[in-house]
Amino acid sequence: MQIDIDFLVIGSGIAGLSYALQAANHGKVALVTKKEITESATNYAQGGIASVFSEEDTFDSHTEDTMVAGAGICHEDVVKLVVEEGPDVIKTLIEWGVQFTTRGDSYDLTREGGHSKRRIFHADDLTGREIERALVTSVFEHPNIEVFENHTAIDLITESKLLKKNVEPNRCFGAYVLDNEKNIVKTFPAKITLLASGGAGKVYLYTCNPDVASGDGVAMAYRAGALISNMEFMQFHPTTLYHPQAKSFLISESVRGEGAILRRRDGTPFMEKYHKLKDLAPRDIVARAIDNEMKTYGDDCVYLDITHKDPDYVKSRFPNIYRTCLKFGLDMTREPLPVVPAAHYLCGGVASDLNGETDIRCLYAIGEVAFTGLHGANRLASNSLLEAAVFAGRAYRHSVEQLKNSSFDSPEIPDWDAGTATDSDEMVVVSQNWDEVRRFMWNYVGIVRSNKRLQRALNRIELIKKEIAEYYWNFIITSDLIELRNIATVAELIILCALQRKESRGLHYNIDYPERDDADWKRDTHIRKTF
C-alpha cells in the first residue's frame, strides 16, 4: 500500500506540527505519529519557551547564557540565529492560538536555571500541553494534512538502498511505516521527508520522557548513512518526583526559578558548594550535585523545598504540579518534594544545517532528534521548544524552495518485503533485551561514567544487537520490536561517542578524565555508519 504525498512528517510535537502547518500551504502533507497525535515530549513540557521579549533583556544576554550553559562548544552562529528569530516564533505561536499566561496587560515572563533574565513564556505549568492543543487543532482543520496516528516509522527509503549501491549525495524518498492497528507495512513515497520524532529518554531506565521517546529518528537516519553528532550529551533533568507510582513525573525547573531550594534529608541546603548560582545552576551541574549527595550520604533522593513561599502563590503558579503531587499524598506547600535526576533531553542527534537539512538530500531533521549546534554540551532550560519552532520555519522555507526548483524523478519504490518472516511467540525475548539495555545504560552510561563502565556497556550492546538482528529478520515486525532495535542502535551511538571524548564537559562526566580539555576537545564528536 503506497500513499503518495509531497511532505512526510514523522513526529507530532511542536517541531512536526509547526512544520506541517506551514508546508501544507504548498502541498499534501502526511503526518505520522506512533500513538495519539498529542503523545509527544512537547505535551509534557511544563516550564516554557525562552525568548527575548522584555525591555530589560537583550539578544546578547540570551546568547551568552546559552553559550555558558553549553560548556564551550555551542555553535555561536546557530545560537545567535535561534535567539534573534525567537520573538517572531512567539508571535507565530500566538497567531496559531497559543495562550501564554499574562499578568495584567503583559506576558508573565519567568526565569529558570542558567538564565540571567526573566524570559520564559509559559502557560501556567502546562506550557507544552497548551502549545500542543493549539497546533493540533490547527492541523486537524487544514485540508492538506492527513494524520496517521498509531503508525510507527520503520526505515527511511533512500536512493542508495533502492539502487543497492553507495550514491553520493544520497537522497531520501520517504519511509516505510507500520500501521500498528492493522499490522501492515505502508509505503510513504515523499518528495520531502522531515524527522521530528523527538528524543531517546527511553534508552535509560529512569526518564521523564513519554514512552514514544525511543530514538527512532536518530536510529533510522544512522542506518540510512546520515551523520550523527554529540550523542554523549544526554541531559538528566535534576528534579523528577521520587515516588513508586509517579513514573518519573517532572518537577519543572521553574519551581527552582521561583525560589525552591534543594536540601538533603536532614534539611541542609547543598547547592552553594557546587555553583555560584546555587539552585539556579545549569542542569548538568545540578544533576551531578544531586547524584553526588545521594551517593555520599546513601540516600535514595534529595528534597525540593518551596514551603517558604506563600501557599496560594505556589498553587496558582504551579497548579498541575500541585494537583499531581497531591494525588501521591504530597503537599508541596507544606513539605519538601522527594526528587531524583532522570534522563530528559538528547543534546546530540542527526546533524543538520542552518535550514534543518541533513547530509542526505531531501531529508530534514528538527527538534530533539536533530543536532544543530545550539545546545553544545548542555541545553539551557526552555531553549528546546524555541529551537524546534525556529527550525520548523527554516526547514519549511528551504524545503518549499527545493520543491519548486528541483526535479524529483525517483526510482520505482517497492513495497515492504517481509520475506519468510513468521509470527513470534517469544516476545519475552524483546522485553528482556529492552530491560537489559535500559538498565546497563543507566548504570554504566549515566550521569557519571568511566572507561571501564563504557567498555562494559559496549560489550553488552554488541551482543544484544546480534540477538536483535537475528530476531528482527526471522519474525514479522511489531512496534515493540522496532523500538527495541532503535533503542539498541541509539545506546550504541551514545556509548561510542562517549568513548571518543577524552575529557569531562557539560553533560558528559568521565571520572578517568575529570577535567575539561579545551586544547584537544573543544569540538563535536561525529559518527557515521559504514557500508
Query: In angstroms, what is the C-alpha Rg of the chain?
Result: 22
363 near 399, Cβ under 8 Å?
no
Distance CA 343, CA 291 (A): 13
Supply the DSSP string of 368-410, one letter for each residue: GGEE-SSSTTSPPTT-HHHHHHHHHHHHHHHHHHHHHHS----
Q: SS3 sequence, 112-156?
A: CCCCCCCCEECCCCCHHHHHHHHHHHHHHHCCCEEEECCEEEEEE
Task: Judge whether 129 counts as a catalytic residue.
Answer: no
Report cis status (omega within 30 of 0) of the bond before 169.
yes
What is residue 253's DSSP assignment? H
Of 325, 342, 343, residue with least CA distance to 334: 325
Helix ranges, 258-344 (H): 283-297, 311-317, 319-327
User: Quick one: which H or E segment has residue 229?
Assistant: strand 228-229
What is the spatial distance between Cα 297 and Cα 302, in angstroms, rounded to a whole number?
A: 10
Residues 35, 52: Cα–Cα separation, whole Å: 34
DSSP reduced 3-state for 7:
strand
Cβ proximity of 172 and 362 under 8 Å: yes
Distance in angstroms (rounded) separating the CA atoms of residues 453 and 479:
30
Residue 332 φ/ψ, nearest 5 degrees: -65, -15
Q: Quick one: which of 124, 121, 128, 86 has its CA closest to 107?
A: 121
Contact yes or no for 139/266 (Cβ under 8 A): no
Tell me the C-alpha distance between 436 and 205, whole Å. Answer: 9
- One of 111, 256, 263, 283 is an active-site residue; which one? 283
CA 497/CA 362 separation, integer angstroms: 26
Q: By the 8 A CB rule, do 284 and 378 touch?
A: yes
Distance CA 392, CA 49 (A): 15
Strand order in the sheet with 349-351: 370-371, 349-351, 228-229, 526-527
CA 247 to chain centroid, in Å, comes to 18
SS3 265: coil
By annotation, the residues acting in catalysis are 283
